[in-house]
Amino acid sequence: MSSANKKEIEKFSKIANEWWDPKGKFKPLHKFNPIRIKYIKENIVNNFNLKNKIKPLDKIDILDIGCGGGLLSEPMQKLGANVTGIDASIKNINIAKLHAKKNKLNIKYLCSTPEELKNNKKFDVILNMEIVEHVDNVQFFLKSCSKLLKKNGLMFIATINKTLKSYMFAIVGAEYFLRWLPIGTHEWEKFIKPQDLKNILKNNNLVLSKLDGMHFNIFKDEWNISKDTSVNYIEKFIKN
């Protein structure tokens, strides 16, 4: 069994060269990144009671799943974490490796899915950011992810809710009207409700610790944490 969706892999492989262009196809992720980094950092620091002010994530082992070109892996490494990034697209991994090398960053990048990862170690933190809506068999994918997480470890999942509002905003608005994303980036059928994620992960010994919405302020041109989870949301789980 595999969680890799060939259609999705090919879709992102075609535009892999644009990962680090803040005005290119991944412009929305570049705008999204600051709030993601802040949210993840603060929750990890609080959960593990970390005290290092210069490298706040020092000695934390992070697995960034669906890492793409490394937009999140690199900031996590700069914050002091030991980062492994995996992606099912070899083009994405090659872009990530090249960019990390140019910036003299020590990040382990592998072309792999969670179920294929040949790794004896388990991680303190797993990042599943904007990935679950692009995989096949979400239950199998998350089960495979949970096996890679240490006891008391954290898993962050950011994705899109399955609502009428999310269809209007994330697909009609973002892809067809505003052209923030290439048409066909998302499929509404693959969106997932927060409660469904909670139920899947509960069966894999992960308990929901935090649920927040993410809202784009069009006037300030920035993302903020919000109570509104009807479109974009992020969940933090702790493994028992």
For the segment 175-190, what is each residue's pLDDT rounded down to a tens digit?
A: 777 677 778 788 888 9
In this structure, which topology does domain 6-239 adopt according to CATH?
Rossmann fold (3.40.50)
Band (pLDDT 50/70/90 cuts) for residue 141 is very high
pLDDT at 170: 80
Tokens 């980062």 locate to 83
Give Dmax (Cα) for the chain.
47
Average pLDDT over residues 157-184: 83
How far is 187 from 180, CA to CA, in rounded Å? 15
Percent of the chain with pLDDT over 90: 82
What is the DSSP pairing of strand 82-87 with strand 61-65? parallel
Average pLDDT over residues 66-89: 98
Residue 16, both tokens = 């892999």
How far is 161 from 211, CA to CA, in rounded Å? 12
Average pLDDT over residues 52-64: 97
Eight-class DSSP state of 70: T
pLDDT at 41 over 70: yes
Band (pLDDT 50/70/90 cuts) for residue 135 is very high
pLDDT at 4 over 70: yes
How far is 102 from 227, CA to CA, in rounded Å? 39
pLDDT at 137 over 80: yes
Q: Which residue has the higher pLDDT, 18 or 179?
A: 18
pLDDT digits (tens, 9 = 90+) for 192-232: 999 999 999 999 999 999 999 999 888 888 999 999 999 99
CA-closest candidate to residue 57, choices 39, 77, 71: 77
Band (pLDDT 50/70/90 cuts) for residue 121 is confident
pLDDT at 89: 97
pTM of the model: 0.94
For the chain, which residues make up each domain, given as ranges?
A: 6-239
Answer yes or no: are the C-beta atoms of 78 and 105 closer than 8 Å.
yes
Instruction: Tell me the backbone φ, ψ of residue 181, rounded to 5 degrees.
Output: -130, 150
Average pLDDT over residues 50-69: 97
Q: Which residue has the higher pLDDT, 225 or 8?
A: 225
Band (pLDDT 50/70/90 cuts) for residue 10 is very high
Secondary structure (DSSP) of 87-147: ES-HHHHHHHHHHHHHTT---EEEE--GGG---S--EEEEEEES-GGGSS-HHHHHHHHHT
Question: What is the layout of strands, in order, in the sheet containing 149-160?
Answer: 108-111, 82-87, 61-65, 123-129, 149-160, 232-239, 206-217, 222-226
